[in-house]
Structure 1
Amino acid sequence: RRRTHVAQNTRHCHQKIRDFVDGVNSHIRMMKLPPGAIVNIDETNVDFDMPSNSTIDRRGVKSVSVRGTGCSQRATVLLGVSMDGEKLPPFIVFTGTRNGRVIREVTGDVGIRGFPTDVVMTVQKKAWVDNEVMLEWIEKVWRPWVASKFFDYSYLIMDCFKVHMQGNILDALASCKTEAEFVVAGYTSKLQVLDVGVNRPFKVYLSDEFNKFVIDNPAKNPSRQHVAMWISHAWKNLKAETILNTWRHVGFNFQ
């Protein structure tokens, strides 16, 4: 799914915010869920070309300019963070078809092809998260992750994106003993942990990776391997403290 910047209602109803947070916290306590079993996910766009507003070049160079690669390709990455500060493996969606060359490149033994091994990748014709891609995320990221934690139940907080709410998605989550919770429409900037305090520092780290690439490769377009590595490095650089502080800032707690 491709994200564009859409202004949200600046006059949020504080009672709606309070009711949602109180409802989530009450459910967490009632189900006696450990913080690691409570997760927020979100999709965010990643362009292969992300020039900054500031100039970049090697130290000592007299003339500098705003740089980019001119590459028009893009990807989507689905990120997830738990209430105890853990990060789920990034799930990267590149442009491609299910029986094409790119799907063979980004699946299987990807390490020998120069991809990081701490991300999971797939393709979609427009690099969006559709129903099929969401089911793939559940099977390749979510199901193994919750199984490794031995949780009795898990609690997944998402926005009201149509794909998240489809019946077969909810059934697949239920088969993982996961209950889905949907953030009040129009309130993700106040209630969704990734939107509130995680996506922005992640994008800053991602931009840093891009800038390093442009300086070292002034006449080269980035490959899928490069973009996957940027995402891997940026996600590693994101501190658990940032995640924990954002959950607390929104008002979520398990006590």
Structure 2
Amino acid sequence: MVDWVKTVWARRPGGLLLPSMLVLDSVRGHLVDRVRDELKELRTDLAVIPGGLTSILQRLDVSLNKPFKDNVRRLYTTWMAGGHQLTTGGKIKVAVLQSPYCE
């Protein structure tokens, strides 16, 4: 997370001109002192979404990410449960890539 703060957040256009706020979920990696210190140097206030409030405060996570992940998981489970073709070396062939949105 510190790397992301340094390479993305700190380099955004106009990002250092005014104080700013970054809203993150409560994943442990977001809350370490190194991240907080780096954000403080960049004049960024950190707002943390408490656990259990994702469905209320992160609507994209509910409306886009969850259905997408559910569909990928379903396709993966179906692929894993099915019979696999093997390469000449005896390894499982790579799954055929298809868009989960085309079904």
Measured against the shorter chain, the TM-score band is 0.5 to 0.7
Describe how 1:193-212 pairs up with structure 2 within 5 A: 193-200=59-66, 203=68
> How many aligned residue pairs are there?
78
CA RMSD of aligned residues (A): 3.2
Q: Which has the higher helix share?
A: 2
Q: Which has the larger radius of gyration?
A: 2
Which residue of the partner structure matches residue 174 of structure 1? 40
Could you tell me the TM-score, scaled by structure 2's length?
0.57
The structural deviation recorded for 1:175 is 1.7
SS of residue in 2 equivalent to 1:186: coil
Q: Does 1:135 align with 2:2?
A: yes
Change (3 A) 1:163 1:187: same
Describe how 1:73-92 pairs up with structure 2 within 5 A: none
SS of residue in 1 equivalent to 2:26: coil
> CA deviation digits over 1:157-184, x for unaligned, max 9?
1111222111111111122221110112
SS of residue in 1 equivalent to 2:8: helix
Q: Structure 1 runs of 4+ off > 6 angstroms? A: none
Residue identity over aligned pairs, in percent, reads: 27
- Unmatched tracts of structure 1, length 5 or more: 1-133, 211-217, 231-255
Between the two structures, name the one with larger relative contact order (CA 8 Å, sep ≥ 6): 1
State the AA in 1 paired with 2:63.
G
SS of residue in 2 equivalent to 1:197: helix
Could you tell me the TM-score, scaled by structure 1's length?
0.26
- Unmatched tracts of structure 2, length 5 or more: 76-84, 86-92
